[in-house]
Amino acid sequence: MITSRSTRRAALWAACAFALSFSAASMADDMVNFSTAGYASGIRSMPLMHKIDTNGDGMVSKDEWLAFHEKVWAALDKDKKGTVSAKEFVAPGGGAMDSFATGGFSRGLKTMAMVHKIDTDNDGSVSHEEYIAYQSKLFDMMDNSPTHKGMLGKEQMIATGGASAN
Ligand SMILES: [Ca+2]
Ligand SMILES: [Ca+2]
């Protein structure tokens, strides 16, 4: 019995070591799986990063990230109902969004594939809560710096935010 338990523990440690050594390399892929290749590449943009970094310190804090997404939400939820139907979500044209985001960002976001990712209760519409919860989780996925936890530098925003760099 002891033997089987220690075998199991050894297997667990091996799995952990494997996960650690591959986590950095697979981060970009995780991000693409969690969102879409199009959305990830919309995020992976220095012009967008500068727009989100409102205090200009070269880092995107979680507060800046969420403030940005509140603006995106306000641009999506034009009639302020607190939910946006799938049709409304993918409606073409960045509109107000183009003034504070980028065309690449809004094209990457406004797809049915993204609606399906964000609409976690599958009711065919995106609520404010679903939208912010999704973007908050995405920030946490990108927030992988050991030295400035809670802040996305260029290497988090650009390297983890997009498709693999080959
Ligand atoms: Ca900042
Ligand atoms: Ca929903």
Residue 120 has pLDDT above 50, yes or no: yes
**At what angle are helices 128-142 and 62-76 packed, to 10 degrees?**
150
Encode pLDDT of 39-98 as tens digits: 999 999 999 999 999 999 999 999 999 999 999 999 999 899 999 999 999 998 767 888
Give me ligand 2 centre to Cα 41, in Å: 24
**For the domain 27-157, what is the CATH superfamily, name and number?**
EF-hand (1.10.238.10)
Give me ligand 2 centre to Cα 20, in Å: 34
Question: In this structure, which ligand is nearest to the CA of 54?
Answer: 1
Domain boundaries, the chain: 27-157
Question: In this structure, which ligand is nearest to the CA of 134?
Answer: 2
Looking at per-residue confidence, does 159 or 158 come out higher?
Answer: 158
Q: How far apart are CA 93 and CA 101, in angstroms?
A: 13
- The first and second tokens of residue 117, run together, are 């990712």
Give me ligand 2 centre to Cα 145, in Å: 32
Question: In this structure, which ligand is nearest to the CA of 56?
Answer: 1
Length of the chain: 166
Residue 153 has pLDDT above 50, yes or no: yes
This prediction has a pTM of 0.81
pLDDT at 85: 97
Question: In this structure, which ligand is nearest to the CA of 53?
Answer: 1
Alpha helix segments (H runs only) across 35-45: 37-43
